[in-house]
Amino acid sequence: MNNNKQSTPVLTDPFGRRIEYIRLSVTDQCDLRCFYCMPEGYRDFEEPKHWLSFDEIERVIRAFSTLGTRRVRITGGEPLVRKDLPVLINKLNQLDGVEDLSLSTNATRLHKQAQQLSDAGITRINVSLDTLKAERFKQITGGKFDKVMAGLMTAKQAGFKPIKINMVAMQGINDDEIEDMVEFCIEHDFTLRFIETMPMGDTGRQASEHYLDLKQVKQRLSERYELIPGTMPGGGPARYVQIAGSDLRIGFITPISQHFCETCNRVRLSVDGTLYMCLGQEHKFELRPLLRAGISDEELLDVIKHAITLKPEKHEFSSKPQQTVRFMSMTGG
């Protein structure tokens, strides 16, 4: 990663938003089945022959970085199930222009991989964690809580900073644990972000029955803690507060109650090489056929510039909740 070389940012969408962030899904597979994300028993994954290879991914990210994209987040599905991920990270870490390489994970495999990921060039990670109760964790995700805790603690020891905990806050599911999660994050020096459920696919729509407006969560926290304005590097949509007298920053990601489409700075690349322009819309552009047909580097830049012109103005999660058929893990959340 070279922080000194600057390329001219030229990727601007039709609404004047600069695209400087790409979320890169390295797999649509996952070893958990969070009920708001992936259906139980789901196995209809993309065929391996359709997965972009590490060389193909590197090419696309290089092109984006030439066009001014500074931030890359590796996600999925669960990114740590993709074999040899540190090899890809190492490649991406060498690219001029990429200043920030981060990872979102469910942490089930962090216990084994944290050090390798750190050595390869990941400095900051986001970990999904919706509950601190082992039995509840099993109900929400189908997985083992102890494994995730072991992964988180190994990541802490490996020195990732910050470690952000992503908690999808849901009425009647885990809203009784909001304060416990705050205390847990203070104790471990993690950052905490609450996320509103999004109606993505049938799973997301069913989970939206438990939708919790994060304004209520903020109000509840303000009754117990003194909240002061907070900031956090990262380029994402979270709005932060800090708890006075502690280092804890709490972010609120509110796609439903207070959407942030006007500042959207990102696109998503799925494992099969499709660029998705918006989480909540179908606008997309398929890069894989062109990459495999031998497109030149120059043409690839033009194609990406064209793809960005397809970016819609906003999602319509509230007005058209039935619209998004893909669930989150297919797009790269």
Write out the residues near ligand SAM by the rule CB under 6 A.
Answer: 30, 36-37, 75-76, 78, 104-106, 128, 166, 168, 195, 197-198, 200, 204, 207, 328-329, 333
| HSE toward the beta carbon, residue 36, CA cutoff 13 A | 22
Smaller CB separation from ligand SF4, 29 or 265: 29
> Which residues, at least 6 apart from 113, have a Cβ–Cβ distance to it below 8 Å?
80, 85, 86
Query: What is the four-CA torsion angle of 202, 205, 206, 207, rounded to 10 degrees?
Result: 120
What angle, rounded to 10 degrees, do the helices at 54-66 and 85-93 form?
30
Which phi and psi angles does 64 have, rounded to 5°?
Answer: -60, -40
Indicate the helix (H) or strand (E) that contains 276: strand 274-276
Q: Which residue is nearest to ligand SAM (CB)?
A: 333
Binding flag, residue 30, ligand SF4 (CB under 6 A): yes
Query: x/- string (CB under 6 A) for ligand SF4, residues 205-234?
Result: ------------------------------
* Residue 48 neighbours by CB under 8 Å, 6+ apart: none
∠ CA 193-195-197, rounded to 5°: 165
122 interface partner picked from ligand SAM, ligand SF4, none, CB below 5 to 8 A per type: none
From the list ligand SAM, ligand SF4, none, partner contacted by residue 198 (C-beta under 5 to 8 A by kind)? ligand SAM
Task: Pick the piece of the chain touching ligand SF4 (CB under 6 A) from 74-82, 87-95, 149-157, 249-257.
Answer: 74-82
Is residue 269 close enough to count as binding ligand SF4 by CB under 6 A?
Answer: no
The letter for the amino acid at 180 is D
Fill in the amino acid letter for 124: R
Tell me whether residue 229 is exposed, middle or buried, using C-beta atoms within 10 angstroms of its C-beta: 0 to 12, 13 to 18, 19 or more.
Answer: exposed
Query: Whose Cβ is closer to ligand SAM: residue 158's or residue 200's?
Result: 200
- Smallest CA-to-CA distance from 205 within 40, 318, 127 is with 318
Distance CA 245, CA 251 (A): 17
Contact partner, 38, from ligand SF4, ligand SAM, none, Cβ < 5-8 Å per class: ligand SF4
Smallest distance, ligand SF4 to C-beta of residue 333, A: 6
Q: Cβ 261 to ligand SF4, closest distance in Å?
A: 22
Residue 147 touches ligand SF4, criterion: CB under 6 A: no
Q: Choosing among ligand SAM, ligand SF4, none, which partner's interface includes residue 33 (Cβ < 5 to 8 Å by kind)? A: ligand SF4
**Residue 273 binds to ligand SF4 (criterion: CB under 6 A):** no
DSSP 8-class letter at 183: H
Residues 35-64 that bind ligand SF4 (CB under 6 A): 37-38
Closest to ligand SAM by CB, 37 vs 57, is 37
Instruction: Work out the end-to-end distance of the chain between its first and last CA atoms, rounded to an integer number of angstroms.
Output: 24
Q: Which parts of this chain interact with ligand SF4 (CB under 6 A)?
A: 30, 32-34, 37-38, 76-78, 106, 128, 141, 328-329
